[in-house]
Chain A
Amino acid sequence: MVELVDQTPRTKSLVLDVPDWKGHRAGQHVDVRLTAEDGYQAQRSYSIASGPEDDKLVLTVERLDDGEVSPYLVDVLQPGDELELRGPIGGYFVWEESLGGPLLLIAGGSGIVPFRAMLRHGIATGSDVPLRLLYSSRALDEVIYRDELREAGNANGVDIELTLTRDAPSDWNGRRGRIDEQMLDEVAWAPAEQPLIYACGPTGLVESVADTLVMAGHDQGRIRLERFGPTGT
């Protein structure tokens, strides 16, 4: 690891220099394996936050208080330390510029991580695929990549929508509340425009988003989901 970047109070980005890295596709992950002195091993999968065109591999890890791996990665690991990785892994929840769009990305909590890779891939390739990102967080200080997302939203064809579900500052002019039918109706393209849709986050959020979109008439075959374990949105 070459650098550690604070993202939110519970989340850090690990910037890694991986020898012989063969490249990856946006949306893929890596498995991180930790081995204790007694030989005990624990392995977890983390989405890759960097784009395929970036020169360093970046993982963004949220510390789960009862986790076996994430507290070590977020609190203990220091620049210069080595990590055992396997990957890149995954071929379903990936987006490449050639897949086109329009592209609708829906994230809850740290489900934003693979979408950072997709966003950076779109920007790096000069893509003209219209992109909308709807991202749900509990509070403003839990929004990962806040500055980067604000900047990305200034680009032509990129629309970034944040919604805060618990605490919003009094001067917050973004969205509030959980992602629901009305919010999806406002943000998503009409089914007739056949958006390509990715949703990533806790199981409950991902499934309610998928059910709502299918009910609204979106083609299930153009919706790709990635559920992950306990975290807040």
Chain B
Amino acid sequence: MIVESLDGNAIAGQLFEVFGSEMTAVTGRCRFCGASSHLAELRVYMRAPGAVGRCPACMRVVLVLTSVHGNARLDASGFELSA
């Protein structure tokens, strides 16, 4: 099966739920390669349990979004959000 990636626009709603504000236009830095990108530009894989976001430059996993009992949980430790 070919798994096609989407992008950060596809998780805009869940990010809104976690942060309480619109996030796709927010930029951040990959902690692995240092590349800067908008959250909308992350490559996002929705077929994993939850969603996985990868840096568009180095393709390392920088963000994992899961839903536990209907509540979105985010681990974005690989992506340093701009203040």
Judging by beta carbons under 8 Å apart, are A93 and B40 in contact?
A: yes
Known contacts A90-B22, A92-B24; decide if A203 and B13 are in contact (CB<8 Å): no
Q: Which residues of A contact B46 (CB under 8 A)?
A: 229
Residues in chain B within 8 A of chain A (CB atoms) = 4-10, 12-13, 16, 22-25, 38-41, 46, 70
Type the 1/0 row for A121-149, where 1 means its CB is closer than 8 Å to any CB of B.
00000000000000000000000000000
**Binary contact readout A190-214 vs B (1 if CB under 8 angstroms, 0 otherwise):** 0000000000001110000000000
> Out of B4, B7, B16, which one reaches A226, CB within 8 Å?
B7
Tell me the A residues contacting B by CB distance below 8 Å: 29, 31, 41, 43, 45, 86-87, 89-93, 202-204, 224-230
Docked pose: A86 CA to B70 CA in angstroms: 15
Q: A45 vs B39: C-alpha distance in the bound complex, in angstroms? A: 17
* C-alpha gap A93/B46 in the complex (Å): 19
> What are 16 of the A-B contact pairs (CB < 8 Å)?
A29-B9, A29-B12, A43-B13, A87-B13, A90-B9, A91-B23, A92-B24, A92-B38, A92-B41, A93-B24, A93-B40, A202-B4, A203-B4, A227-B9, A228-B6, A229-B6
Compute how far the CA of A31 lies from the CA of B10 in the bound complex, rounded to whole angstroms: 10
* B8 proximity list for chain A (CB < 8 A): 92
Evaluate whether A203 and B5 lie within 8 angstroms (CB atoms) in the complex, with A41-B70, A92-B38 already known: yes
B6 and A203: CB pair below 8 A?
yes
Nearest CB in chain B to that of A230: its residue: B4
Q: Do A45 and B12 touch across chains, with their CB atoms under 8 A apart?
A: yes
